[in-house]
Amino acid sequence: MAFNRPLLRTSYAEDAAILPTAFQKGAVGIALLLLSAMALDVPIVSAIPKFLLGNTWLSPFNNMLIFCVAALGINILVGVTGQVSLGHSFFMGVGAYAAVLLGGDGSGGLACVPFHAQLGLLERTTRCGLALPIWIWLPAAGLAAAAVGILVSPVAVRVRGLYLAIVTVGLVFIGQHIGVMLPEFAGDAESGRRWPPLEFRLWRRNDGNEDNPLINFSEDGTWFGFLELSDSQKSFFFLLGVVLFATVLAKNLMRSRTGRALQAIRDRDVAAEVMGVPEREYKRLGFAISSAYAGVGGALFAVNLSRVGPPEWSLLLAVDFIAILLIGGAGTIAGTLMGTFFVELLPDFVERLTESQSEAAEGSGVGGAIARFLLTDGSRNDFGPIATSAQAFGWPLPVPLWNFVIYGVLIVVFLIAEPLGLFGIWLRIRNYWKGWPFSY
């Protein structure tokens, strides 16, 4: 009867398993099944994201999956190793520019020659790159960011806490300045330059055809000859596969000897060094691994946006990842994924909710009264806190600024009430359910 106790593990393999319980295996399987059904536009399942995010829900989901990859990297550095970093966007930019130099338009090779677009446009753009396929430029983006991370890590590992945060903030401003000073590589500061599309072939064709379908496995535009998908759907499944691969790697790292050494440094670095853990070497390794994740995420982020300028790799982008860790739960894989899901989809959900409330404000009843109380378009003599018209500053605040307010409030609330974030809330629910009806 003792072997029927919940969470009883009788071997090290059971204790170190990625998904040790049947519930976790089932939950992951159901989640993947639901995501696949939504992407394939199964009517009943796809109605849920369409109701919350509109008919273009695949675009924010693809962006969320990209941020999952980069967030797993910052979790290794901040949550696992315990190093405070605000320079994640810098390493994302390094990976993105490595990707565009290797996979971009190959008409000019690596000798980037600026030219002016035709049709009377004054846009300054570049044609440079080796036109290599994605299975070369995407891993190379991670390796390039890891190499830069190793170069700057000797300086970073000598400081800690607030001083390390200031050092990494400096990297962000240095990267933006270099991008602006090198328009031949980064493009114009305003419009940036184009990134290679997500073409998954054995070797990229350079036939001048801009209408090549994305991520095909056959020449007729279908997957394996029988499944016809849109470009957004193909990108979704490809990004989902990248996230699964990155998640398994991060989980295996945390289970390995290296991961345990990184966590020992996080918990008590002096004690870890006394026990024989070389602190600086492992901090440098954690920095490199985190930078590699950031490089891959930055390359995918730039490809997803198609055109990115140097100002995009800003301090605000780095703060987004800190919000993801604090809201989701630093040091945990599940918390990082939950935090990314919440933080990246929240703005789209708020925008969708505001649009629905704007429509309800034209009606009558309790719902219309609440909508008119909350919203204002500037033409009525009301005092709604949410402005439906675009404005930069002042009261009432537009929806984009309200997203920042929501982030700030959530960070404060989670730091005070639940330091483990959404993952901590899940632990409370799980423990209560397992102990019910007892309170101990």
Task: Tell me how far apart the alpha carbons of residues 133 and 86 are, in angstroms, rounded to a whole number.
Answer: 31
CATH architecture of 34-207+230-360+391-435: Orthogonal Bundle (1.10)
Between 363 and 72, whose confidence is greater? 72
Candidates 235, 225, 224; CA nearest to 199 is: 235
Q: What share of the chain in percent tops pLDDT 90?
A: 38
Measured CA distances, 315 to 147, 176, 286, 322 (Å): 21, 10, 21, 11
Summarize pLDDT for 138-155 with one digit per residue, the tens. 999 999 999 999 998 888
Mean of all residue pLDDT scores within the chain: 82
Residue 14 has pLDDT above 80, yes or no: no
Contact yes or no for 284/56 (Cβ under 8 A): no
Model's pTM, two decimal places? 0.87
Residue 337 has pLDDT above 70, yes or no: yes
SS (H, E, C) the chain: CHHHCCCCCCCHHHHCCCCCCHHHHHHHHHHHHHHHHHHCCCHHHHHHHHHHHCCCCHHHHHHHHHHHHHHHHHHHHHHHCCCCCCCHHHHHHHHHHHHHHHHCCCCCEEEEEEEECCCCCCCEEEEEECCCCHHHHHHHHHHHHHHHHHHHHHHHCCCCCHHHHHHHHHHHHHHHHHHHHCHHHHCECCCEEECCCCCCCCCCCCCCCCCCCCCCCCCCCCECCCECCCHHHHHHHHHHHHHHHHHHHHHHHHHCHHHHHHHHHHHCHHHHHHCCCCHHHHHHHHHHHHHHHHHHHHHHHHHHHCEECHHHCCHHHHHHHHHHHHHHCCCCHHHHHHHHHHHHHHHHHHHHHHHHHHHHCCCCHHHHHHHHHHEECCCCCCCCCEECCCCCCCCCEEHHHHHHHHHHHHHHHHHHHCCCHHHHHHHHHHHHHHHCCCCC
Q: 119 falls in which pLDDT band (50, 70, 90)?
A: very low
Contact yes or no for 329/424 (Cβ under 8 A): yes
Summarize pLDDT for 299-322 with one digit per residue, the tens. 999 999 888 888 899 999 999 999
Q: 438 falls in which pLDDT band (50, 70, 90)?
A: confident
Task: Tell me how far apart the alpha carbons of residues 328 and 342 are, in angstroms, rounded to a whole number.
Answer: 8
Between 369 and 45, whose confidence is greater? 45
Spell out the domain ranges in the chain.
Answer: 34-207+230-360+391-435
353 beta partners: none
Residue 377 has pLDDT above 50, yes or no: yes
Task: Tell me how far apart the alpha carbons of residues 284 and 262 are, in angstroms, rounded to a whole number.
Answer: 10
Check residue 352 and give its pLDDT: 86
Summarize pLDDT for 171-219 with one digit per residue, the tens. 999 999 998 888 877 877 777 788 888 876 655 444 444 444 445 545 5
Residue 359 has pLDDT above 70, yes or no: yes
Low-confidence winner among 267-281, 285-299, 376-390 (lowest mean pLDDT): 376-390
Summarize pLDDT for 64-92 with one digit per residue, the tens. 999 999 999 999 999 999 998 899 999 99
Check residue 415 and give its pLDDT: 87
Mean pLDDT across 343-355: 87
Check residue 241 and give its pLDDT: 94
Q: 121 falls in which pLDDT band (50, 70, 90)?
A: very low
Residue 224 has pLDDT above 70, yes or no: no
Between 384 and 332, whose confidence is greater? 332
Please state the length of the chain.
440
Check residue 4 and give its pLDDT: 53
